[in-house]
């Protein structure tokens, strides 16, 4: 799939290093790895602001849509319109819906239909794929 923002692996690695991203950010965002539950810096983060793609800066989620799902990863009820793409994921012997950044294709996490809010969705994201900007 083509995305508006494209770079080589070496360019993504250099960009993430320049941004001071977590050491696992390249593996998570560009190679679809998953961080360990309860280990990400945004799992228990509740400040007002917005969450952006660590790779390209695309605004993904507002802090008001974040909730505590108890799953160990930052969870959101609603993505910003057009900010993410959903892709069927058959890895690890499961059928899930992968969530990627609509601008650069960075792996963000997965979305599930077991959320407690009116959307019924739980966007379960990796902190290593996110950057937070306070309001």
* List of domains in the chain: 9-134 (2.170.150.20)
124 in catalytic set:
yes
Buried b (16+ CB within 10 A) or exposed e, 47-60: eeebbbbbbbebeb
Residue with tokens 């360990």: 36
Overall size of the chain counted in residues: 135
φ, ψ for residue 133, nearest 5 deg: -120, 120
Asked whether the beta carbons of 119 and 67 are under 8 A apart, the reply is no
- The conformational region for residue 2 under phi > 0 = left, psi -120 to 50 = alpha, else beta, is beta
Instruction: Compute the mean pLDDT over every residue in the chain, rounded to the nearest whole number.
Output: 96
Asked whether the beta carbons of 29 and 128 are under 8 A apart, the reply is yes
Helices then strands, counting H and E runs in the chain, come out as 2, 9
Per-residue pLDDT tens over the stretch 99-133:
999 999 999 999 999 999 999 999 999 999 999 99
Per-residue pLDDT tens over the stretch 7-26:
999 999 999 999 999 999 99
Per-residue pLDDT tens over the stretch 69-85:
999 999 999 999 999 99
């Amino acid at each position: 799939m083509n995305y508006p923002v494209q770079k080589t692996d070496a360019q993504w690695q250099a960009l993430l290093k320049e941004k001071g991203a977590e050491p696992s950010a390249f593996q998570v965002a560009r190679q679809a790895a998953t961080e360990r539950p309860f280990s990400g810096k945004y799992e228990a983060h509740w400040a007002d602001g917005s969450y952006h793609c660590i790779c390209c800066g695309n605004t993904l989620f507002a802090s008001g849509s974040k909730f505590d799902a108890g799953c160990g990863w930052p969870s959101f009820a609603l993505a910003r319109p057009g900010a993410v793409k959903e892709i069927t994921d058959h890895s690890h012997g499961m059928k899930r819906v992968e969530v990627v950044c609509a601008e650069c294709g960075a792996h963000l996490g997965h979305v599930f239909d077991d959320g407690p809010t009116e959307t019924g969705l739980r966007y379960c994201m990796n902190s290593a794929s996110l950057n937070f900007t306070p309001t």
